[in-house]
Amino acid sequence: MDWHTLKAQAREKFRGACRVCPICNGVACAGEVPGMGGLGSGAAFRNNVEALAGFRLNLRTIHNVHTPKLSCRILGLDLSLPVIAAAIGGIAMNMNGAMTEEEYAAAIVAGCRQAGTIGMTGDGPKPEVFEAGLKAMAAGLGPAIPIIKPRDVDKIVELAQRAAAAGAPAFGIDIDAAALINMTNAGQKVGPKTKDELAYIKQHTSIPFIVKGIMTPDEAEACCAAGVDAIVVSNHGGRALDHTPGTAQVLPYIAETVKGRITILVDGGIRSGADILKMLALGADAVLIGRPLAIGAVGGGADGVATVLNKFAGELRAAMVLTGTADVAAVKEDILW
Ligand SMILES: Cc1cc2nc3c(=O)[nH]c(=O)nc-3n(C[C@H](O)[C@H](O)[C@H](O)COP(=O)(O)O)c2cc1C
């Protein structure tokens, strides 16, 4: 399946929930939450895309990098490229019923496995959101990394243990959902966590623990102190707090503080292989991609997800050759102009 057919099919199925724009930058869908947009003015979503666009790559072709290495090892997992599918939940509500929660999780989990990588699955006020990820694993479609809402710590521990029993190689919490309105409206308590609470979750679970939604060096440092295995530098695709900076802007400061002591993942506005390479140069070990893979899932199910991932892999390979980058695990800062 080609990218253009995939986009046309997705546009039809979304029925306006996502316009599948030529550039997915949060302009057309500003304020559309529920929906696929960014919260409020949509600035945080736009800032992600603009921040990445603000970095330029140095073109270098006098070298011997012909076949760059895209594969990498992240949290003990061998991945064919440094890309993980971001958790996306609330499919019926956000995507105009284009898919069910279960169909979406199945497409992400199977499509990621097809492309040699792994996907995260979501959580939400309805139990079916979290269950969809576990069901995809139980159906043998592949492993998944469930991302649990920042519920009470004992509930997080309970869900993380269920995830581990279902075969998840890691789990996380999207700590930036601490004030998520659809959780509180449904009477489900979410909230910020202290460093001690993060340490408690780590101590009472058995698989690697990811904290998603870190935007400042001090909070990255707190995750290190709590024994967290990985952070995701993320503003939830601009859906948590309006007017946050782009993740590419804050990533270098976070990497300067904690690089080498904790796995650094990042998401927000990554739309091409060149964007992936920029994030690696800014200090990430790997990236998460959200909306483009949602377009893949809605447009073509598991095959659609794999098509988008393979497109990113091809673009990343070309960008590595054209910047003289041999290995995704050793991307030099001087590829940035
Ligand atoms: C419709 C929608 C639903 C989302 N649901 C979740 C979720 O359940 N859990 C979570 O951790 N993040 C969720 N996110 C945020 C993504 O995991 C990710 O951080 C974001 O989409 C990355 O930005 P990008 O879409 O520009 O790549 C959601 C994002 C969207 C667009």
pLDDT in tens, the chain (337 residues): 889 999 999 999 999 999 999 999 999 999 999 999 999 999 999 999 999 999 999 999 999 999 999 999 999 999 999 999 999 999 999 999 999 999 999 999 999 999 999 999 999 999 999 999 999 999 999 999 999 999 999 999 999 999 999 999 999 999 999 998 889 889 999 999 999 999 999 999 999 999 999 999 999 999 999 999 999 999 999 999 999 999 999 999 999 999 999 999 999 999 999 999 999 999 999 999 999 999 999 999 999 999 999 999 999 999 999 999 999 999 999 999 9
Q: Read off φ and ψ for residue 209, nearest 5 degrees.
A: -110, 125
With the most atoms of ligand 1 within 8 angstroms of its CB, the residue from 18, 88, 279, 293 to mutate is: 88
* pLDDT reported for residue 184: 87
CA of 290 to the centre of ligand 1 (A): 6
* Residues flanking ligand 1, CB < 6 Å: 36, 48, 86-90, 94, 122-124, 147, 174, 212, 234, 236-237, 239, 267-270, 289-291
Which one of the listed residues 66, 204, 236, 243 is annotated catalytic? 236
Cβ atoms 229, 210 nearer than 8 A: yes
Q: How far, in Å, CA of 265 to CA of 252, rounded?
A: 12
Size (the chain), residues? 337
pLDDT in tens, 233-279: 999 999 999 999 999 999 999 999 999 999 999 999 999 999 999 99
The whole-number pLDDT of residue 182 equals 86
**Which CATH number fits the domain that encloses residue 163?**
3.20.20.70
Tokens of 3: 């990218």
Q: Is 236 a catalytic residue?
A: yes
Output the residue whose Cα is nearest ligand 1's atom 6. 88
pLDDT of res. 240: 96
Query: How far does residue 120's CA lie from ligand 1's centre (Å)?
Result: 10
Q: What is the pLDDT of residue 7?
A: 96
Report phi then psi at 76, rounded to 5.
Answer: 80, 5
For 295, how many CA atoms within 13 A lie in the half-sphere containing its CB?
Answer: 25
Task: Kindly report the protein residue whose alpha carbon is nearest to atom 12 of ligand 1.
Answer: 87
Contact 325, 332 (CB under 8 A): yes
- For residue 257, what are the domain limits? 3-335
Q: What is the pLDDT of residue 196?
A: 98
Number of domains in the chain: 1
- Binding site per annotation, positions for glyoxylate: 239
Q: Measuring from atom 5 of ligand 1, which residue has the nearest CA?
A: 88
What is the DSSP-derived secondary structure letter of residue 334? G
- End-to-end Cα separation, the chain, in angstroms: 35
Ligand 1 atom closest to the Cα of residue 212 is 11
Find out whether the peptide bond into 34 is cis, omega within 30 degrees of 0.
yes
DSSP 234-299: --GGGTSSTTPPPHHHHHHHHHHHHBTTBEEEE-SS--SHHHHHHHHHTT-SEEEE-HHHHHHHHH
Closest Cα to atom 10, ligand 1: which residue? 87
